[in-house]
Amino acid sequence: MPNTGANAYPSRYRWLGLLGSLALAAGALTAGARPAADTGPTLRASGGAGTVLVFAGLAVLTAAWLLLGRPADGQRPPGTRWLTTTLAWWAAPLLLVPPLFSRDVYSYLAQGAMLAHGLDVYTHGPADLGGPTAAQIPQVWQHTPAPYGPAFLLLTRATAPLAEHPWAGTIVLRLTAVLAVAALAALLPALARTLGIDPAAALRLGALNPLVLLHLIAGAHNDALAFALLLGGLLAATRRQVLPAAALVALAALVKAPAALALPVVCLLAPADRSWRPQLRTAARAVAAATVTVLVVTAAAGTGYGWIAALTTPATSTSWSPSTSLGRLAADLTDAAPDGAVTAARLIGLALAAVAIALLARRVVRRESEPMAALALAFTALIALGPAFRPWYALWAVLPAALAVRTPAVRRVAELGCAVLAFTVMPDGFSPDGAELVLAVGGFAIGAAAVLMAERGTPLHERQLAC
């Protein structure tokens, strides 16, 4: 094969990451979020060796990703084409396995079936649908409305014929996520070049990322679609295409609402003249395009605007977040009612997030901060101070950060944060018991040992051609 400019290090870590991905796929067959026909009404996976394999694979894959970014003296780092090929290698074993780390994909299928049956997904939960489709949903989500916008629900309605065939439905929705991740792999380098960021570094952090592989591909989360639309809109904005940029960002928000935070960034990136009059004209055009997009898509979906009221759905009484934990702690210390304390803490967290976002906007207007960096920090504030947190939510901050961070040390901190988050969810998406934690730790130890053996088995300065 021709030399692509890579050396022994990236070639070795590509193979090491593939080994980790294969172990993940093998473990998912028994430890993943399998259909109810395989798990019974508890929906809990059998675990066992599957859990060990998943965590061993996680350790190997995450280590390969971190080591791939390790600087090597006198050697040229891998380019975007090589990294994109590596992403395809690592993703391939995860395409046909059961969902991993979450059962949300079954909720997507249920919501599509509900629409097909004429049920309002913004006032009804899967329990009102009933049957084998609703049986796939954990009890905590049986009576909750959909928190997704009409653009995504149009897609789920198309999958309604597959709702009672969870394997087939999962594959179709995962294919959508894979196509969205492929779009990310193309959009990130293009945006990075426009913004003066190293394209390969942006691609490695934003797309060749364990959280992308685990949650957007293996978990088939709809965040992938929102991210692809969001970055497409930002790229159009850098090319002064205001109307399509605003429309794409609005579509992203009609999949998942947080994407709306990027609309002001469109207004800042698009005008060639940064004086206030061109920016006002740009803002007016962007708002008009976004408004028309919302009206047209909502009318096409026929769902109405109930999704606005349903935005709190991900925050159940059992959801975890820093603000929720502080609320529960305050309730324990003061003997207050837990529900009231948690609600108050969540409202305070959202208020603080709003203040942080306003301050960031002020800095951008005063040109004390770059729009993309401010967007990354705004998403960080919303995630950290919001009422619910899940590992893949971090990607909302990571993707714009990949296009804004210029300091290797800061980029490394972001990478380490992603690596830690990769280990925070069990393969079937449920909270672990003591036995499962032991299996997970054992799997991690096996994976870590495999990485150490691989590192010791190759001379430090060995060179070779990479495919």
Q: Three-state SS across 334-387?
A: HCCCHHHHHHHHHHHHHHHHHHHHHHHHHHHHCCCCCHHHHHHHHHHHHHHHCC
Task: Mention every residue, 6+ apart, whose C-beta is less than 8 A from residue 278.
Answer: 271, 272
Residue 276, pLDDT score: 67
pLDDT class of 4 with cuts at 50, 70, 90: very low
- Give the least confident one: 195-209, 252-266, 360-374: 360-374
CA distances in angstroms from 320 to 387, 390, 430, listed in the order given: 8, 8, 13
Span 356-374, average pLDDT:
87
The mean pLDDT value of the chain amounts to: 88
* Model confidence pLDDT, tens digit, residues 233-267: 999 999 989 999 999 999 999 999 999 999 999 88
- Structure confidence by residue, pLDDT tens digits, 423-458: 999 999 888 888 899 999 999 999 999 999 887 765
Helix axes 434-456, 8-31, angle to 10 degrees: 160
* pLDDT score of 275: 61
Tokens of 178: 């894979």
Q: How confident is the model at residue 152 (pLDDT cuts 50, 70, 90)?
A: very high
Nearest by Cα to 152 from 124, 128, 121: 121
Q: Is the pLDDT of residue 366 over 90?
A: no
**pLDDT of 312 higher than 70:** no
pLDDT digits (tens, 9 = 90+) for 97-118: 999 999 999 999 999 999 999 8
Q: What is the pLDDT of residue 1?
A: 34
Choose between 11 and 35: higher pLDDT. 35
pLDDT of 454 reads: 83
Q: Show the tokens assigned to 231.
A: 């970055």
The pLDDT, as a whole number, for residue 292 is: 95
Task: Give me the pLDDT at residue 140, please.
Answer: 86
Residue 2 has pLDDT above 60, yes or no: no
Say yes or no to pLDDT of 463 above 60: no
Residue 45 has a pLDDT of 82
The set of residues, in sequence order, having a beta carbon less than 8 Å from that of 448 and lying 6+ positions away, is 59, 63
Give the SS3 label for residue 145.
coil
Q: What angle do CA 327, 418, 4 make, to 5 degrees?
A: 165
How is residue 420 written in tokens? 């830690």
For residues 84-107, give the mean pLDDT: 95
CB 199 within 8 A of CB 245: no
Report which of residues 336 and 74 the model is more confident about: 336
- d(CA 39, CA 46) in angstroms, rounded, equals 8
Q: Report percent pLDDT > 90 for the chain.
A: 58
Main-chain dihedrals φ then ψ at residue 463, nearest 5 degrees:
-120, 150
Confidence of residue 466 (pLDDT cuts 50, 70, 90): very low
Provide the pLDDT for residue 465: 36
The amino acid sitting at 183 is: A
Whole-angstrom distance, CA of residue 75 vs CA of residue 72: 6
- Which residue type, as a one-letter code, is found at position 408? P
Residue 71 has pLDDT above 80, yes or no: no
Give Rg (Cα) of the chain. Answer: 22
Asked which of 30-34, 68-72, 374-378 is least confident by mean pLDDT, the reply is 68-72
- At 76 the pLDDT is 75
Contact 139, 94 (CB under 8 A): no
Where would I find the H helices in 159-303?
166-195, 199-206, 210-211, 223-238, 242-253, 263-269, 276-301
- pTM for this entry: 0.91
End-to-end Cα, the chain, rounded Å: 6
Task: Give the per-residue pLDDT at 10.
Answer: 77
**Structure confidence at residue 459 as a pLDDT band (50, 70, 90):** low
Total residues belonging to the chain: 467
